[in-house]
Structures are given as C-alpha cells and as structure tokens.
Amino acid sequence: MSNRVIQAMYNDDDILMDAVKEVRAANHHIAEVYTPFPVHGLDKAMGLKGTRIAITAFLYGCVGFSFSIWMMNYMMIEQWPQDIGGKPSFSFFLNMPAFVPIMFELSVFFAAHLMVITFYMRSRLWPFKEAENPDPRTTDDMFVMEVTVEGNEEELVSFLEKTGTVEIKVTEKHN
Amino acid sequence: MSSHYEAPIRRPLIVGDKSYHDITVEVAAPIEGKANKLWWTAFTIALLAFLWGLGSIMYTIGTGIGVWGLNKTVGWAWDITNFVWWVGIGHAGTLISAVLLLFRQKWRMGINRSAEAMTIFSVVQAGLFPVIHMGRVWNAHFVLPIPNQFGTLWTNFNSPLLWDVFAISTYLSVSLVFWWTGLLPDFAMLRDRAVKPFQKKIYSLVSFGWTGRAKDWQRFEEVSLVLAGLATPLVLSVHTIVSFDFATSVIPGWHTTIFPPYFVAGAVFSGFAMVNTLLIIMRKVSNLEAYITVQHIELMNIVIMITGSIVGCAYITELFIAWYSGVEYEQYAFLNRATGPYWWAYLLMMSCNVFSPQFMWSKKLRTSIMFSFFISIVVNIGMWFERFVIIVTSLHRDYLPSSWTMFSPTFVDIGIYVGTIGFFFVLFLLYARTFPVIAQAEVKSILKSSGENYKKLRDTNHE
C-alpha cells in the first residue's frame, strides 16, 4: 500500500455525499472525510460502524449508581450510624428514600463525565492537541475526502475530478 | 436537495440569502472586530457592580452574617431568595439545549449556545449565596463527604441541603461539559480563521485539536444526544431538590407537595425570560438578527406564557389546599401572605408572574421586540418576588406571636445581590466578545432545510 493520498475538496455537502457513494462503488478506499458540520448519513455512506459510546454511558451510570449506594451505606449506616432528628440510621432500607436524590445525581454525574472523557480519549481531543485537518477551510465551508492511492494514481485523480470536486491535491500521508 | 425537505408551512429559521461561509463570517465577526463604546460602558458598569459586591462579601466574611438584615425569626431572606432566583434562571439553558434537542426542535440551534452560557454563569452566582451564608467560608469543603481529621464524621445524607450540594454541582459540571463539547467545532472554526498568533494559540488550546473527522462527528452527535437525555431529568431534578429545601421542612407555607413541579415551572419561566432579555440585546448589538429571528423570540414568549400559567395554577392550588386542609396554621400562612404586611410583594408577584404573561396570547404583542423585552424584565422582577414571598412571609410570623417581626435588608444584602448581577454581566459580556455565540456548526447543518433562500428555491421548484 502506498503512502500517498488524494485530497479531493468539495464545497457542498450533497455533492460530497454523492461523491462518497461513487468512490465507494468504484471500490476505492476512503481514508477520511473532514466536514465543517455534521453531515447526516455520511457515516453510513462511508461504511463506518455505529458508535458504542451510548453503551459506555449506560455502564458508567451503573457504576455511579452502585458507588452512591456503597458510599451512603458505608458513611451513614455502617461506619457511624447516628440518630439525626429522631430518625436513626439502623438499616439501609429504612433510610433509602432519603438517599434516592443523591443516587440519581451520582448516576448522572458518572454517566455524563465518564462518557465525555471516553469521547475525548477515543477521538483524540484534549488541550494542547494539534489540529490535523488538512485545510483550514474544512471548519468553514469546505469538505475534504481523502482517498488512498492504490494502483494508478492518474486514473484515480481523473475519476475524482468527475465527482464535482473543486480542488484536488496529492500528498504524502501525514501519519 | 430532496434530503433537506422541510414542510413549506414552517417559517425559515435563518433569514436572508446565506451560504455556509456567510454563517462563519457573521458568527466570527463580533470576536474578530473591536468592542464599541456601548460594550465598554456596559462592561465598566458591570465591573463596578461586581467590585461593590465583592466588597460586600468581604465585609460579610470579615465581620459576620450579622451585617445582613436577618434576625432571630427570619433566618433566611435575601441570600436564599437570590440563590433560588439565580438557580431558576439557570434552568433555561439546559432546557433549550437538552429538552428541545430530544424533541427535535430546530429553533434551539440559534439560541442554545448563549442560553447555556447564561445557565453556567447564573449557577455560579447561585452557588455563591449558600457558600457565603455558611459564615465560615473557609470550611465550605465540609459539605463534601471527604475524610477529615475526625476520621468517621461524614455529611448527613438525609438532609435536603446536602442533596442540593450534589444536585447543583452535578448540574454545573454537566452543563459545563455539555457546553464545551458543543463549542469544540466552533472554537476550531475560530482557530482556523485566526490571523493573530496569540488568538490562534488560545483557540487551538480551547478547541482541543478538533478536526471534524466523520467518525468524530458521529461520536459528537451521539454524545450530544445522550447528554441531552441525561441533562433532561437532571435539570428537572435540580429545582425539585431546591424546592425540597423548603418542602421537607415543617414551616406552614413551605411544607407542600406541589413545590417540585411548581418550582420547576417557575424556573423555566424565569430562565426563558432572562434568555429573552439577553438575546434581544445581543442579536441587535452583534448583528445576529438573521439567526435569532423574531420567530425565536415568539416561541420563547409562548414558553413564558405557558409556564407562567402553570405557575399561576400552582399559586391558586396552594391557596385552595391551604383552605381545604383545615389546618389553621396553613390557612393563616396564606392569608398573611396575601393580606398581611407583605401584601405588596404578593401583589407584585401575582401581577408580574400570572397576569403579565397573558399578554402573550396576542400574536401582535408576542412578536413585538420591545414588548417582549419589557415583559422579560417584568417576569424577572416577579420571579424574584415570588421567592421573597415564599421565604420571608412564611418565616416572619411563626408559631410564636411574640417573635413575629419584619425583615428589611441592609446595604450589604443589597450590595451582594447587585454584585452578583454585575458578576453575571461581566462574564456574559466577556463571553459575547470571545466565544462563538451561535452554534455555527449546528446552524450550518439546518441551513438547507430551514434557510430562507433554500426554502424559497424549493417552493418555486415544486410549483
């Protein structure tokens, strides 16, 4: 596999979608697509698998829920049971109704924060991370499709030119 | 084009002949341009108010809570009123960004960024009051269940005040993360446009290296949806728990089961009013009238009208239940509220919150920008008085008539309140000059379905 990629630029999301479908149909490999805003259906057209990040959120929520139960049981019932306002802390289930708000809050806290941290890790986003978009216009109004060069390069360029691209660049792969 | 279909009857959410690049330029313009005189004047006033408030806070901490107008009978007054008022205002942002996302309301996209900013800034103000009210603020970390020198002395998880600590901190931190994740693509846009090296550095730092890969967008949309799903019950829980601070007590006038839904409706009501106050000015000053249209203002007015009416129903239900309960203490608390020495506050609350939103039934009034601005201020005043009425009138005449008294604020009470308003506007004015105030990436994604030019093009093609 060669290291060269062709960057085809588009100035419209509908033209990009058609181009992605054409390139896929012609059995070329789309390395990446950069867009300035979420283009609906692009992930399916590119053949990307669905994301499992919602499942992680559910699991993190379960962790938060269990942690809150463990924490309040340990602090209120086991370690130092006190009689506050005539309501003694004898057993978890007698006190449980008072624990519901914090069980809920901690479930949400864990689910939301850990899911976002997972997203940042998986998508390699953090402070001081250098941006890797091939052209600054991809955050404005340009859409870039990167196609890996396999076989005849000129043939691929002329094929892409027919998909409605406004600019074509052939570069070495950056990573 | 066919994939961007939207019913022709829907009015455009983006007015004028806009392209994707126009949106970029117009959202970036207030940040790239220079601040005008008006901004500096507003900023100076806000900063002075903030400094005045800071001085009042330092005086309170240095001398003690005794410098406030509180007394033996009325132990909660301005501070908690302000706390609940600010938390309530902080409800609209998450409601707009989360609940309207779940309901697939596209009009949220023009206003969600600023509404969320408002949420975060106002929850910061709200958080100040309980912390100052502790008296010894340097012990504020005692509200968290952290191991301490007493070894096994933990916080009291039976207390609604502690639930509040958890609810508000979860709400603030989750809102912040929701806001920032949505900001990444827009910061990236500013980064890629920045010419000055310092600006480029700052926006690179805050955009976390966002590049807009297809996989990132897929995850981004899923994360937004799940965060919206989590934030929706969260936002309802926050004011529910704030209302528990009162409802779980045994004070007549506070001890009512209607409080949670009533407080949540009131919070949404005041929050939307504050969004209207801020955005009516911002759309003008920052030239964003094409994105924050009269339709946006009208829809927010409808929400204000509905939630105002819910609040009105709650007021009347409270009165009815107090009478119907047959409990004389409960009956007296409400009779005293309406006809006692604080009747004027009650009247102000009723007229601002129940009467004034009813004007919004008229299409002419709710599409009038000046009138909407006026009503939004009236609602904010009314909702402050609602909390004052609930808190002070329930306390000032307690079970023991010999301790009945009145409450009057000192200059310190007023100073801290004015200070938080100043602090809020300092933050909001700085935000308006440095942040992308419109979620431009999201707005671009609805341009073809809801943009005026594209809608017109589609309609003429169909005919």
A103-122 pLDDT per residue, tens: 999 999 999 999 999 999 99
Read off the pLDDT band of B341 (50, 70, 90).
very high
Cα maximum dimension of chain A:
84
Query: pLDDT at residue A58 above 90?
Result: yes
CB-CB under 8 Å, B205 with A113 = no
To the nearest whole Å, the CA of A140 is away from the closest chain B CA by 6
- CA of B29 to nearest chain A CA: how many angstroms apart? 14
Q: What average pLDDT score do residues A131-149 get? A: 89
| Residue B311 confidence (pLDDT) above 90 | yes
Token representation of residue B149: 């020198």
Cα nearest neighbour of B2 on chain A: A14
Ramachandran sector of residue A41 (left: φ over 0; alpha: ψ -120 to 50; beta: rest): left
Contact residues for B459 (Cβ-Cβ < 8 A; gap 6+): B8
Pick from B7, B43, B98, B4: which is nearest to B446 by CA?
B4
d(CA B289, CA B281): 10
Give the end-to-end CA distance of chain B in Å, rounded to a whole number. 16
Q: In this predicted structure, what is the pLDDT of residue A161?
A: 86
From the candidates B144, B202, B226, which should be mutated to test the interface with A, based on the most A CB atoms within 10 A?
B226
What does the alpha-carbon distance between residue B269 and residue B314 come to, in Å, rounded to a whole number?
13
Residues in chain A: 175
A128: left (phi over 0), alpha (psi -120 to 50) or beta: left
Q: What is the pLDDT of residues B113-128, one digit of tens each?
A: 999 999 999 999 999 9
* Residue A174: band (very low, low, confident or very high) from pLDDT cuts 50, 70, 90: low
The pLDDT value given to residue A10: 92
Q: Write the residue in B167, B217, B226 that is nearest to A101 by C-beta.
A: B167
Best of B192, B203, B453 to mutate (most A CBs within 10 Å, chain A)? B192
Task: Kindly tell me if the per-residue pLDDT of B442 is higher than 60.
Answer: yes
The Cα B188–Cα B198 span in angstroms is 15
Residue recorded with tokens 């901490």: B61
Percent with pLDDT over 70 in chain B:
98
Mean pLDDT of chain B, nearest integer: 91
Query: Which residues, at least 6 apart from B101, have a Cβ–Cβ distance to it below 8 Å?
Result: B108, B224, B225, B228
- Tell me if chain A has a CB within 8 Å of the CB of B320: no
Contact B188, B212 (CB under 8 A): yes
Does residue B2 have a pLDDT over 60? no
* B231: amino acid identity, one letter: A
- Segment 206-235 of chain B within 8 Å of chain A by CB: 206-223, 225-227, 230-231, 233-234
A173 or B226: which leads in pLDDT: B226
Crossing angle of helices B78-89 and B259-285, in 10° steps, is 70
Residue type, B449: S
CA distances from A152 to A8, A173, B359 (A): 16, 17, 70
Hey, is A5 helix, strand or coil?
strand
Identify the bridge partners of residue B213 per DSSP, sorted by sequence position: A34
CB contact under 8 A, A37 and B177: no
Cα–Cα distance measured from residue A82 to residue A76, given in angstroms and rounded to the nearest whole number: 7
Please tell me which of the candidates A32, A36, A120 has its beta carbon nearest to residue B20: A36
| The pLDDT of residue A2 is above 80 | no
CB-CB under 8 Å, A112 with B20 = no
Cross-chain Cβ contact A102/B193 below 8 Å: no
| A59 min Cα distance to partner chain B (Å) | 13
Over 90: is that where the pLDDT of B95 sits?
no
Q: How confident is the model at residue B7 (pLDDT cuts 50, 70, 90)?
A: confident
- Percentage with pLDDT > 90 across chain A: 47
pLDDT in tens, B99-155: 888 988 889 888 999 999 999 999 999 999 999 998 889 988 888 888 877 667 888
The alpha carbon of residue B443 is apart from the nearest alpha carbon of chain A, in Å, by 9
Mean pLDDT of B361-374: 94
> DSSP letters along B264-301, please?
HHHHHHHHHHHHHHHHHHHHHHTT-TTTS-HHHHHHHH
HSE at residue B123, side-chain half, CA atoms within 13 A, is 27
Instruction: Give DSSP secondary structure letters for B376-415.
Output: HHHHHHHHHHHHHIIIIIHHHS-S-GGG-------HHHHH
